[in-house]
Amino acid sequence: MNPLGVVVASIVLGALVARAEPWVVYEPKPGTTNGKHIVLMSGDEEYRSEEGLPQMGKILSQRHGFRCTVLFSQDADGTINPNNQTNIPGMHLLASADLVVNQFRFRELPDADMKHFVDYLASGKPMFVVRTATHAFNYERNKQSAYAKYSWTAKGGGFGGMTVGETWTYHHGNHGGEATRGVIDGRNRAHPILRSVTDVFGPTDVYGVNADFPADATVLLHGQVLKGMKPDDGPNLSKAIMPLVWMREVPAGEGRKAKVLCSTIGAATDLLSEDLRRLFVNASYHLTGLEVPKKADVTIVGEYTPTPFGFNSFKKGIKVASHELK
């Protein structure tokens, strides 16, 4: 290539890099789109949502025709940093979402970004709340913010109390020592979200629920505490089962009601469970008004070796762009 060609190529490459967005979009394969857009919001310090949600975005887009956008907690240079609680670019994209998957923990977004989240809640569109998103927000820097009422410490439990009926409670299972087995609620076995779901296991422990757990919740799965961390470990019968996956309809703006699904199992390592991935896919169909497949294909896309949960155990130096589907 002549020198002029090198210069032109460098300018073009530089422009492409400059246009790279600080989020990832997974487009469906040509001819497979179902017309629905899902925004998956990762942002927790412990359970590796920055790994699990991109994989679910790939499965939902490549196996099921959803357009999926994944948002990340990150530093200004595009390096993923789950400990950065205040910077999650792309919140404005919620306006075009048909479903939001929320896996935040203790975030405190700038008011301009938080407004997009609250506008989505008011729209009456559905939300899927995963694991730590029962306590998605924690207002410690700007306690005078108009959005401080969404903090988990606010009266009524903040965002979690307003929607799924729970905020942060307690580890019912021994954290890191007692895994979780999902037990189907027989009264709701025919629910579409449970279609072809029978075997749910995850190494994260069962969360407890409060005595005022909402009476209007439809429980789909209960969490059984196991005696150890392996799928074939027996149940710890000294600990009662707890709601693990449940659905509610909650008030939204202008008299509307929104469907909200909560799953307190859903760490990146939990998603190695085929039937848990199937539950997530089924939920995406059901919440967006589509017919749930008889047995959804949840085959992993590419490589998936999730990092075990833990504080500061995230992979350092990973750029948002590294999650793009090649």
Those residues of the chain that have pLDDT short of 70 are 1-19
* pLDDT recorded at residue 2: 57
Which residue's entry shows tokens 């927000």?
A: 137
| pTM (2 d.p.) | 0.93
* pLDDT recorded at residue 307: 98
* pLDDT recorded at residue 101: 98
Phi, psi of 256 (to 5 degrees): -75, 165
DSSP, collapsed to helix, strand or coil, labels residue 259 as strand
List, in sequence order, the alpha helices (H) in 218-289: 274-287
What's the mean pLDDT when you consider all of the chain? 94
Distance CA 215, CA 218 (A): 8
Question: Which residues, at least 6 apart from 30, have a Cβ–Cβ distance to it below 8 Å?
Answer: none
DSSP, collapsed to helix, strand or coil, labels residue 224 as strand
* pLDDT recorded at residue 326: 82
* pLDDT recorded at residue 12: 40
Do residues 81 and 75 make contact, with C-beta atoms less than 8 angstroms apart?
A: yes
* pLDDT recorded at residue 253: 84
Would you give the DSSP letter of residue 23? S
